[in-house]
Amino acid sequence: MDILLALKVLIMGLVEGFTEFLPISSTGHLILAGSLLDFTANIGREKAEVFEIAIQAGAIFAVCWEYRARIAAVLRGLPGDPKARKLVINLIIAFIPAAVLGLLFSKMIKEKLFAPLPVAIALIIGGFVILWVERRNSARSQGGNRAGNIVARVESVDDMTALDALKIGFAQAFALIPGTSRSGATIIGGMLFGLSRKAATEFSFFLAIPTLFAATIYSLYKDRALLSAADIPLFSIGTVAAFISAFLCVRWLLRYISSHDFTAFAWYRIVFGIIVIVTGYTGWVSWAH
């Protein structure tokens, strides 16, 4: 692997980590970054798609490390702690919709929607959805604060019902469309369904663990014929970069949501999506397909 390719891999890993848990779509940003870097020309389209999914493991390890004490407590408590069992069951319920729909439609989605223009459109639409939910939240707030929180029906992930988990699972399924954002769909969906901002964010983090690990393992197994020992350095750099950047991002996001809403991310999505469309239409940037 030459130095230029290593630099591209490093950038892709950083993009994955910094965007995975923000409501701005990591897949969409990876598609756009890969297009700008002409990443697929270096390793091939199919291997690039496997790489983009595989390095999600780095981001998930960051969440596992951040919540290691909570995860260990849940695992220890499974035999006798009702709260631990309830959380695991809710995660399984929320995992199912995206898993089933992903198996049914992932090939079609990759063929039709894994391109800069669909990503830009999804970014813009998702941005307006976030603005609508936040303004709805703010309008219902009582005694408001800077974060615009209302008195939520579900203040903690321990208070969630199976129906809450199922609703968030269907919200996560929308993230199969690149540019939508898995974290955005689950967090904003959770808030729309009555979860507090903190509960929705934490459940989104926990749900990412089975969802992204399953996607990574499935992709590596399905496309194992494309890979060889020579790819280990490439995947290692991307995964480590994703771990470090995701860890920093998760720490920052948990502080951020304590006093802010997601409006800034909504405007970022809208402006960025418009820039992609305008630069592509005018020819200022040659977005590869």
Residue 224 belongs to some domain of the structure: yes
Residue 242 belongs to some domain of the structure: no
Tell me the pTM: 0.88
Burial annotation 151-162 (CB, 10 A radius, 16+ → b, else e) = ebebeebeebee
Residue 12 belongs to some domain of the structure: no
Do residues 263 and 271 touch, judged by C-beta distance below 8 A?
no
pLDDT of residue 232: 93
Q: What percent of the chain has pLDDT over 90?
A: 67
Residue 236 belongs to some domain of the structure: no
With H, G, I as helix, E, B as strand and everything else as coil, classify residue 181. Answer: coil
Distance, CA of 85 to CA of 66 (rounded, Å): 21
Residue 240 belongs to some domain of the structure: no
User: What is the average pLDDT value for the chain, to the nearest integer?
Assistant: 90
Do residues 5 and 42 touch, judged by C-beta distance below 8 A?
yes
With H, G, I as helix, E, B as strand and everything else as coil, classify residue 195. Answer: strand
Which of 89, 93, 60, 57 is CA-nearest to residue 74? 89
Do residues 276 and 44 touch, judged by C-beta distance below 8 A?
no
Structure tokens given for 112: 């039709």
Residue 8 belongs to some domain of the structure: no
Note down the domain range covering 134: 66-229+250-282
Residue 98 belongs to some domain of the structure: yes
The set of long-range contacts for 276-282, using a CB threshold of 8 Å and a minimum separation of 24, is 276/32, 276/116, 276/117, 276/119, 276/120, 276/123, 277/117, 277/120, 277/121, 280/116, 280/117, 280/120
In the chain, % helix, strand, coil (3-state, to 5) comes to 80, 0, 20
**Whether residue 89 has pLDDT greater than 90:** yes
Give how many domains the chain has, as a whole number.
Answer: 1
Interval 220-239: pLDDT, tens: 998 889 889 989 999 999 99
Residue 42 belongs to some domain of the structure: no
